Amino acid sequence: MTWVTGADGSPYGVTNLPYGVFRHGEREPRIGVRIGDFVLDLAGAEAAGLVLAAGALGRPTLNEFMALGRPQWTAVRRRVTELLTDPAHRPAVQPLLAPLDQVRLLLPFEVADYVDFYSSEHHATNVGKIFRPGQPPLLPNWKHLPIGYHGRAGTVVVSGTPVIRPTGQRATPQGPVAGPSVRLDIEAEVGFVVGVPSPLGRRVPVDDFADHVFGVVLVNDWSARDIQAWEYQPLGPFLGKSFATSVSAWVTPLDALGDAFVPAPDQDPPVADYLRDVPHLGLDLRLEVWWNGERVSQPPFAGMYWTPAQQLAHLTVNGASLRTGDLYASGTVSGPERHQVGSFLELTWGGAEPVKFAGGETRGFLEDGDSVTVTATAPGPDGTTVALGEVTGTILPAR
């Protein structure tokens, strides 16, 4: 129970408490925690001595706080919970609350490296069927390791940032042409944010996942399918992805998701030792994809073949170091059913089966002016629900 008006019973109650960075009026950007429809100014709270975090809460990004490590993350979360539940703190804390509609949310952390995985068996199978009909949809390596690649960290943007339609080359029957993408798509994903770094040359075992990963964001990895299809052989996606990757403004700490861990799908064939996680746990995050205000899909994250702990262990098995602010995304989240897919490529089966909106309009891929929002919820303690914010963007015409 919190004394903050309207927060109890909301999916942003005291069992959630996600972190973000906000600007309020003319003040400098600062770290806050969401409670109900308010944001608690943690920089102000630390300056007033209400919470202690070695000054890290007074910074304009979460990076320094995320670098402190799990004991500090847990201590700050416990203290914030006290401040928001014990009415004795209300006189001191109330002035540090700002209504959400009066603040602007910023990119919550400085992205170090961005890695994108490809860990939904349903998604990889669908893509294989669409692009390589008549062949085995999964490549031979897919069940042996979590396939991934590096994306562009500098074009990770916060939810709400408009997405300018990218220009590039695409193949046509008359040869390649350059121009605005005509197959602009989304990828609904879940991202994991690294707080605690690791040194070069030392792998991070699956068991150390929670020592390094601070929390979770929602990700929309916008994708120009035509640019991607022409460029991606043999070195993978490049300009078809690097124009923009949107993340939610709220980083949900792992501590808020304790009730969301569920057994992940069995893996057959057995995985290599360094990928064996016991228990083998995924997260029961229920995504929703909204296209121009209509819900078009409900991808279930619980069914992902590779778990976030396995992804982290794989990412570092070659000795690659981690930095604070590293972001790794799950890959498109798709379930077994058509209404559970995380891309419009799958939803419209390569554009061949357009989506019909209630108003009668149809869509294959994204048109200028279209908006897409991805949301997610997870089970919290005692029957509560934890919301993971949203990641939204509107397409602007090519320049």
Binding residues for Ca(2+): 116, 187, 189, 221
Nearer to a second copy, 88 or 396 (CB): 396
Q: Minimum distance from CB of 6 to a second copy (Å)?
A: 36
Q: Minimum distance from CB of 37 to a second copy (Å)?
A: 30
Q: Minimum distance from CB of 361 to a second copy (Å)?
A: 27
d(CA 103, CA 107): 13
Number of helices (H), then strands (E), in the chain: 9, 26
Binding-site positions? 116, 118, 132, 187, 189, 221, 228, 232, 241, 245, 332
Nearer to a second copy, 238 or 349 (CB): 238
- At residue 122, what is the residue type? H
Nearer to a second copy, 118 or 214 (CB): 118
Nearer to a second copy, 129 or 323 (CB): 323
d(CA 282, CA 260): 8
Question: Which residues are at the interface with a second copy (CB under 8 A)?
Answer: 112-113, 115, 118, 139, 141, 144-145, 147-155, 157, 164, 166-169, 171, 176, 178, 200-203, 224, 227, 230-240, 242-244, 272-274, 314-315, 317-323, 326, 399
Bond prior to 269 in cis (omega within 30° of 0): yes
d(CA 388, CA 378): 8
How many CB atoms within 10 Å of residue 362? Answer: 10
CA distances from 224 to 166, 172, 349, 367, 398 (A): 7, 15, 15, 12, 12
- At residue 143, what is the residue type? K
Alpha helices for the chain (secondary structure H)? 42-47, 63-66, 70-85, 90-93, 121-131, 209-212, 225-231, 308-316, 344-347
Nearer to a second copy, 166 or 303 (CB): 166
Binding-site positions for Mg(2+)? 221, 241, 245
Q: Minimum distance from CB of 241 to a second copy (Å)?
A: 9
d(CA 171, CA 262): 43
Q: Minimum distance from CB of 377 to a second copy (Å)?
A: 29
- Quote helix, strand, coil % in the chain, to nearest 5: 25, 30, 45
Which one is catalytic: 24, 89, 122, 123? 123
Q: Minimum distance from CB of 231 to a second copy (Å)?
A: 6
Nearer to a second copy, 111 or 188 (CB): 111
How many CB atoms within 10 Å of residue 72? Answer: 17
Nearest to 374 by CA among 190, 213, 148: 190
DSSP state of 297: E
Using CA atoms in the order 127, 132, 137, 140, what is the torsion angle rounded to 10 degrees? -110
Active site includes 123?
A: yes
- At residue 65, what is the residue type? F
Report, as residue numbers or ranges, the catalytic residues: 123
